[in-house]
Structure 1
Amino acid sequence: MSFTDEYLIPLVDAGLGNSAYLVDLGDGRALAVDASRDLRALRDAAARRGLTVAFAADTHLHADFLTGALQLAADEGALVLASAAGRRAFPHTALADGDEVDLGGLRLRALATPGHTDEHLSFLLLDGTRELGVFTGGSLIVGSAARTDLQGADRAEELARAQYRSLRLLAELPDATAVWPTHGAGSFCSAPPGAERTTTIGAQKAANDLLAAPDEDAFVARLLGSLGSYPAYFDRLAETNRQGPALLTAAPGLKPLTPAAARTLLASGARLVDARPVPDFAAGHIPGAISNPLRPAFATWLGWLLPDDTPLVFVLGPGQDEQELAWQAAKIGYDRLAGQLAGGMTAWLADGGPADTTNLVTAEQIGDRPVLDVRQTSEFAGGHIPGAAHAELGTLPADLPATADGTVVMCGHGERAMTAASLLAHSGARNLAVLAGGAADWADVTGRALEEGV
């Protein structure tokens, strides 16, 4: 059995597309790498093995989630390991290139691998002189390298050139060295689609298009050409991680709110988020509510579309997990949760509250209505309904079409489209509908080909 199979426990956050890692050090202690503020899975894994987290390493100042390292330090006495160049404002062991930490038999060596961020470190795990694996964070990832524009578009090329050098450095490790990235498929830090979340140096040398680039300029062109948009909250979270996230003294949750209390909060500026499934929202929702169905991607769209400094009121449906919602919000720094409407829409309607509906339509029912496709640009370019307008969900309502009235909004399955429709309705658009399905359903029903490109 390999070290990876026996002692390394990957903890995948499918919603954010990331992996944290728990390493069993063999003596009742563990190393955590790139742990999120949502420590539930990590703590469950540690408890199953009877482990105490003694070390918490962060490869970089994360933009897509709050670090859990500070919480592990407070709760379990973990030693926080991070880059000296990150200038973190809380106690930690500051590491520079080549520094090593004795884990009690195994050693962790810091490798300066800037590119995704200025202060990025990879951590090489050593057993004597043998390279067991390397935690690459946002440098070398499966099939690519993480984006380099998070410090601003004006620095994207400079950091892409740094990323080139970092990947060349990592490629010098033995081919058998395991690669344990943080960012993976589904991450807006720019990972290609695919099921694999770990790899080896040799596999990446054989298959990673960036490592195959003939020179630095070609590498930079390929990397920058692959970058799409990213959630708005990325621009503020790295600094929160540098300062140190607020410690949690209890599990986050949602207090119950009466309809009267909810109305008072909304009248004073709170925002309303409806986390129910698309069909339930379509059948009846509170006017002005933003649809964001509770699912793995909930946190991404919460952070992209709603402010973090405004109280949030939530509507959930029967059986939905309010603690899951609260944890998803907490891991990206959304702590101003005013509560949830007790009794949901049933209580709201019983109290005389108004409700709006949104039509769900099938591909056959679109007819000659205008279509707005709110998928990411790369998805739209891969195949869309001919004549459809395009605006990424993350750009709405600022990117509102000249007239959205009567539009059929679509995405891949319906969740993002309903979110978009709710944003457009909040901005005054009327007579909107949402396609139940996606472009492939339209092609199947009509027998017509999708259009490619933008």
Structure 2
Amino acid sequence: MSTVEVVPLVDEGLGNSAYLLDLGDGRAMVVDVSLDLRATSAAARRRGLTVAFAADTHLHADFLSGAGQLSATEGTQVLASAAGHREFEHNGLRDGDEVDLGGLRLRALGTPGHTHEHLSFLLLDGDKPVGVFTGGSLLVGAAARTDLVSPERTEALARAQYASLQRLATLPDDVAVWPTHGAGSFCSAPPGTERTSTIGREKATNPLLRAADEDAFVTALLGSLGSFPPYFLRLGEINRRGPDVLDHPPALAGLNVAQTRSLLAHGALLVDARPVADFAAAHVPGALSIPLRPVFASWLGWLAPPDRPLIMLRNADQDPAEIAWQATKIGYTNLAGELTGGLAAWVAAEQPTTTTRLVGPGDIDSPVLDIRQTPEFAAGHLPGALHLELGDLSSRATEVPHGPLVVMCGHGERAMGAASLLEQAGHRDLAVLTGGPDDWATATGHRLETGA
């Protein structure tokens, strides 16, 4: 029985898991760590480990890799696909290459699909396969999307993904499966609580591994692809070149009201990270609402432009370091700073504010705009609700009718973001639903509609 210790480091917001592998000699290997290395460093420090190796399964689209940062600051050896043509120091591996980890061995398995250069890493204790870091290949109950490289290559990569999953399925049933993408990831992981699995369990339960043939697999995989944030199309190339090495942790510089007004007048955008109720009660006109929570990074990357200076506004009890790190790990280097003193300072300087009305599930008095993802909407929505995904709203706000409107999502956070975008586009008489479709059904006793 192997005593190998693998510690998952879960980023709930991005829906991903990095892994810390204790090599048993005071050293560790990490797999698919982001540039936000706080959890990785803390886990290694608690165990008295030095990170000797950092393996990346692929060129990540949803976060900046921390492997180059570890290499530059700690002398960590980076292991990655030679086919990725990374432009920073690394050990370029090809299918079948092995790395001696000091008793344990790591074998590279070519598993293209999610990206063209994707590797899985099989961990061997002696000659015994213990587990496989599958990255964006075999996931728990799924396989990662294949449409992030280019539209022209989506189907070809889906067929490569089929072959990769079939290859992984030949491993012994008791081999652990340690994927990077999990529930909550826009890289196409299904909902669920399990983030690791085994080859045997996936063969028995994963619908894509049980597809009748390659064509059925491709149809199922491509049919499951939803929308994704636009920053996904930029980060792969940044990761190939190598993210800039940080010489200090990211931070939010303080800006007074006059500086904030000047920046806003010259094209900056104010991002309000306060909770929904606070934004509703009073906010700076034109501000974008993205409440600070685990998924802050994803929605910042979806709704805020990467090429406009961003000014943050928060409550005193919200951590500015968390805001800065969430922005930094998705490549947002355009943070101009934060409004010192928050909204209170703005009000004290006699600057204007506006409000957004909140309504309860039993008090809807206007047409409804549902801005959830299409699969969420199809699973159950209010009868007659309009539907437009939040990620599409900036470019399609003109399609939304003017007049009284209740904006809704699952809880209220995304809906407030949508309302703030509509306010920027000139819409008025908006309200945000506090709750979601199930709350409405419970409050009214009416049934939800299903289907797109």
User: Is the TM-score greater than 0.5?
Assistant: yes
Q: How far apart are the structure 1 equivalents of 2:192 and 2:276? A: 27
Which deviations, in whole Å up to 9, do the C-alpha atoms of 1:373-407 show, x marking residues without a partner?
Answer: 00000000000000000000000122223423311
Q: In the alignment, what sits opposite 2:236? A: 238
User: Does the CA-based 8 Å contact 2:310-2:337 persist in structure 1?
Assistant: yes
Q: In the alignment, what sits opposite 1:408? A: 406
Q: In the alignment, what sits opposite 2:393? A: 396
Counterpart code for 2:194: E
SS at match of 2:132: strand
SS at match of 2:44: helix
Q: In the alignment, what sits opposite 2:371? A: 374
Q: 1:335, CA displacement in angstroms?
A: 1.5
Q: How far apart are the structure 1 equivalents of 2:191 and 2:437? A: 19
Counterpart code for 1:109: R
**2:174 is equivalent to residue 165 of structure 1:** no
Q: How far apart are the structure 2 equivalents of 1:397 and 1:93? A: 42
Q: How far apart are the structure 2 equivalents of 1:198 and 1:404? A: 47
Q: How far apart are the structure 2 equivalents of 1:272 and 1:402? A: 23
Q: How far apart are the structure 2 equivalents of 1:234 and 1:406? A: 34
Q: How far apart are the structure 1 equivalents of 2:448 and 2:2? A: 46
SS at match of 1:363: coil
Q: 1:204, CA displacement in angstroms?
A: 0.2
Counterpart code for 1:199: S
Q: How far apart are the structure 2 equivalents of 1:74 and 1:333? A: 18
Q: In the alignment, what sits opposite 1:3? A: 3
Q: How far apart are the structure 1 equivalents of 2:151 and 2:236? A: 16
**2:315 is equivalent to residue 312 of structure 1:** no
Which deviations, in whole Å up to 9, do the C-alpha atoms of 1:193-250 show, x marking residues without a partner?
Answer: 0000000000000000000001001111111111100111001000000010011111
Q: 1:364, CA displacement in angstroms?
A: 2.2
Q: How far apart are the structure 1 equivalents of 2:403 and 2:381? A: 21
Counterpart code for 2:134: T
Q: 1:153, CA displacement in angstroms?
A: 2.5
Q: Which of the residues 42, 51, 54 maps onto 2:52?
A: 54
| Fraction of identical pairs, as percent | 67
Counterpart code for 1:82: A
SS at match of 1:365: coil
Q: How far apart are the structure 1 equivalents of 2:220 and 2:402? A: 36
Q: 1:446, CA displacement in angstroms?
A: 1.3
Counterpart code for 2:311: V
Q: 1:128, CA displacement in angstroms?
A: 1.2
Q: In the alignment, what sits opposite 2:107? A: 109
List structure 1 segments (4+ residues) > 4 angstroms apart after TM superposition.
none
Which has the larger displacement, 301-310 or 164-173? 301-310
Q: In the alignment, what sits opposite 1:432? A: 430
Counterpart code for 2:393: L
Q: 1:322, CA displacement in angstroms?
A: 0.5
Q: 1:309, CA displacement in angstroms?
A: 2.1
SS at match of 1:397: helix
Counterpart code for 1:204: E
Q: How far apart are the structure 2 equivalents of 1:356 and 1:2? A: 61
Q: In the alignment, what sits opposite 1:199? A: 197
Tell me how large the CA RMSD over aligned residues is.
0.9
SS at match of 1:396: helix
User: Does the CA-based 8 Å contact 1:32-1:56 persist in structure 2?
Assistant: yes
Task: Provide the aligned length of Structure 1 versus Structure 2.
Answer: 451
User: Does the CA-based 8 Å contact 1:109-1:126 persist in structure 2?
Assistant: yes
Paired residues for 1:46-125 under 5 Å: 46-125=44-123
Counterpart code for 1:25: L
**2:12 is equivalent to residue 14 of structure 1:** yes
Q: Which of the residues 143, 156, 164 maps onto 1:145?
A: 143
User: Does the CA-based 8 Å contact 1:404-1:424 persist in structure 2?
Assistant: no
Q: In the alignment, what sits opposite 1:264? A: 262
Which has the larger displacement, 439-448 or 188-197? 439-448
Q: 1:366, CA displacement in angstroms?
A: 1.1
Q: Which runs of 5+ in 1 are unaligned?
A: none
SS at match of 2:394: coil
Q: In the alignment, what sits opposite 2:25? A: 27
Q: How far apart are the structure 2 equivalents of 1:109 and 1:385? A: 51
Q: How far apart are the structure 1 equivalents of 2:400 and 2:367? A: 12
Q: 1:318, CA displacement in angstroms?
A: 2.2
Q: How far apart are the structure 2 equivalents of 1:76 and 1:137? A: 24
Which deviations, in whole Å up to 9, do the C-alpha atoms of 1:235-291 show, x marking residues without a partner?
Answer: 100000001001111111111111111001111111110000000000000000000
Counterpart code for 1:279: A
Q: How far apart are the structure 1 equivalents of 2:181 and 2:225? A: 14
User: Does the CA-based 8 Å contact 1:380-1:453 persist in structure 2?
Assistant: yes
User: Does the CA-based 8 Å contact 2:269-2:311 persist in structure 1?
Assistant: yes
Q: 1:2, CA displacement in angstroms?
A: 5.4
Paired residues for 1:271-286 under 5 Å: 271-286=269-284
Could you state the TM-score of these two structures normalised by the residue count of structure 2?
0.99
Which has the larger displacement, 395-404 or 243-252? 395-404
Q: Which runs of 5+ in 2 are unaligned?
A: none
Q: Which of the residues 138, 151, 154 maps onto 2:152?
A: 154
Q: 1:155, CA displacement in angstroms?
A: 1.7
Counterpart code for 2:384: G
Q: 1:308, CA displacement in angstroms?
A: 1.5
User: Does the CA-based 8 Å contact 1:259-1:347 persist in structure 2?
Assistant: yes
User: Does the CA-based 8 Å contact 1:3-1:132 persist in structure 2?
Assistant: no
User: Does the CA-based 8 Å contact 2:416-2:432 persist in structure 1?
Assistant: yes
Q: How far apart are the structure 2 equivalents of 1:98 and 1:50? A: 31
Paired residues for 1:317-336 under 5 Å: 317-336=315-334
User: Does the CA-based 8 Å contact 2:2-2:130 persist in structure 1?
Assistant: no
SS at match of 2:396: coil
User: Does the CA-based 8 Å contact 1:409-1:433 persist in structure 2?
Assistant: yes
Q: How far apart are the structure 1 equivalents of 2:400 and 2:171? A: 54
Q: How far apart are the structure 2 equivalents of 1:152 and 1:272? A: 32
Counterpart code for 1:52: T
Q: How far apart are the structure 1 equivalents of 2:202 and 2:43? A: 29
Q: How far apart are the structure 1 equivalents of 2:402 and 2:74? A: 53
Counterpart code for 2:275: P
Could you state the TM-score of these two structures normalised by the residue count of structure 1?
0.98
Q: How far apart are the structure 1 equivalents of 2:46 and 2:400? A: 56
Q: How far apart are the structure 2 equivalents of 1:147 and 1:273? A: 30
